Amino acid sequence: MSELNSIVLKIIKSGKGILAADESTGTMSKRLDEVNVTSTPENRLLFRETLFSSSCMTDCIGGVILYDETIKQISSKKNKITELISEMGSLPGIKVDTGAKVLAGSPDENVTEGLDGLRERLKEYYKLGAKFTKWRGVYAISKDYPSKLSISSNAHALARYSALVQECNMVPIVEPEVLMEGEHSAEDCLKKTSEVINKCFEELILHKVDLKGIILKPNMILAGNKSKNKISNDEIAKLTIKCLKNSVPSEVPGIAFLSGGQSEVEATQNLNLINKYNDTNFIMTYSYGRALQQSALKFWSKDLKNIEGTQKIFNHRSKMNTLAAQGKWSKDLEI
């Protein structure tokens, strides 16, 4: 087993998942504004530290994706955030892309940037304690999109990023997200997501990326949020597995789904059904942001000093998703 493969398994084995706490300062400020909390570096750190020191970090959360501001912060116990996460039994990771920008040649689509200077930044993050990284490519979906240009440009960037990350002895999370926004059917989502993932692996192989040392972070196969043709949770699970079986090489050890705008319970329920029907060798788990944090954030916003109460809610949500990652969740376990 390679060192990179052992890091992957430490993050996602036994139902463990990933906490995506990599919201940019702007995005985190919006989240705090929504719950009437002033967005200061201190408040952003306080909420995140509350989560990172919760008991579920040991049993449920195998990895935490951080943002540049957070990985450089010092906790209230005067240790580095990466040390706090490691002491809880989880692994620290870092978002390294610099965001989606307008794609030249197709102005209604985006390409993710951040390759310039990436090798140097990776060395810095590695010294700070990061064991894995994340890069997100985003794809609009409609009758005309994603275009071949968008699919190719983002796959190329994801592959170049992954090769640089592995060169620095870290695990790349490869996140090609076909967005939920739109009127498209689940069948459209299946077709486009399959195209996107297939192209990503074509580029990853071309760039000599060790597929045993990556984690794929895709969207589930869902109808668009404005679609009149919704499908059942069972169908979501079956189509998602169909997509991955046909698109992902068998060497890839694990798949950690993004929640992509689903509610907390929806994201858990769909993950649970995916694992009930999973007839592959892929570990199928979660890499959720809002679907792990939203209820905890709302509770915390009412009293920033109620650490224990906030952690109780976060522990519950994490436990529900870890059960779902093993196909053992049921609705009657929800509060």
- Phi, psi at residue 17, to the nearest 5°? -130, -170
Is the Cα torsion angle 300, 303, 306, 307 positive or negative in sign? Answer: positive
- Phi, psi at residue 91, to the nearest 5°? -115, 135
Tokens found for residue 203: 């580029």
Cα angle 211-22-101, degrees, rounded to a multiple of 5:
80
Tokens found for residue 77: 């116990």
Residue 290's H or E segment, with its range, is: helix 290-302
C-alpha 300/C-alpha 307 separation (Å) is 7
283 forms bridges with which residues in the sheet? 254
- Phi, psi at residue 195, to the nearest 5°? -60, -45
Q: Name the amino acid, one letter, at 142.
A: S
List residues with catalytic annotation. Answer: 217
